[in-house]
């Protein structure tokens, strides 16, 4: 019996420890109180990230813009290029107006010729070509 007593004591202590390790019932109030703190922490973290990213981009664009934007110093000013484009467009527009005026005159002349009932002349033969003699037709 002396050997059985320590074994029995060990079994009783193991059962008592097992009862302590079982989780308690789920407490909704404790979890509900913890959730807003977690959301607030996440919101704070995201807000801090946003501030860090925007400040780094601002500093990059202010002080190291050559790494992000192309070098506009090597090309002409944009306003000068647009002025030249506008002048070229205006010149093309004027040239088109002059050509349209010429076509109006030609069109009026052709219309007048087509309406006139005058005698029509036969077409003139073209100049004779000198070259190889043509074979006679039989």
Question: For residues 23 and 6, what is the distance between their CA atoms, to the nearest angstrom?
Answer: 29
CA dihedral 31, 35, 37, 41 (to 10 degrees): 140
Give the other-Cβ count within 10 Å of 94's Cβ. Answer: 10
**Which of 29-38, 73-82, 105-114, 120-129 has the highest average model confidence (pLDDT)?**
105-114
113-137, pLDDT tens digit by residue? 888 876 666 666 666 666 666 666 6
**Torsion over CA: 78, 80, 84, 86 (sign):** positive
Give pLDDT, residue 3. 74
Which tokens sit at 89? 């467009």
Q: Residue 5 — very low, low, confident or very high, per pLDDT cuts 50/70/90?
A: confident
């Amino acid at each position: 019996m002396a050997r059985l007593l320590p074994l029995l004591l060990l079994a009783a202590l193991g059962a008592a420890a097992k009862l302590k390790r079982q989780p308690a019932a789920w407490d909704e109030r404790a979890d509900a109180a913890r959730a807003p703190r977690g959301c607030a922490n996440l919101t704070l973290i995201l807000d801090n990230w946003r501030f860090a990213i925007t400040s780094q981009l601002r500093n990059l664009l202010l002080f190291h813009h050559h790494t992000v934007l192309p070098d506009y110093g090597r090309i002409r000013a944009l306003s000068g290029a647009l002025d030249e484009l506008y002048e070229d467009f205006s010149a093309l527009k004027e040239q088109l107006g002059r050509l349209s005026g010429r076509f109006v005159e030609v069109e009026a002349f052709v219309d007048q010729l087509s309406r006139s009932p005058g005698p029509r002349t036969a077409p003139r033969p073209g100049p004779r070509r000198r070259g190889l003699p043509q074979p006679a037709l039989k």
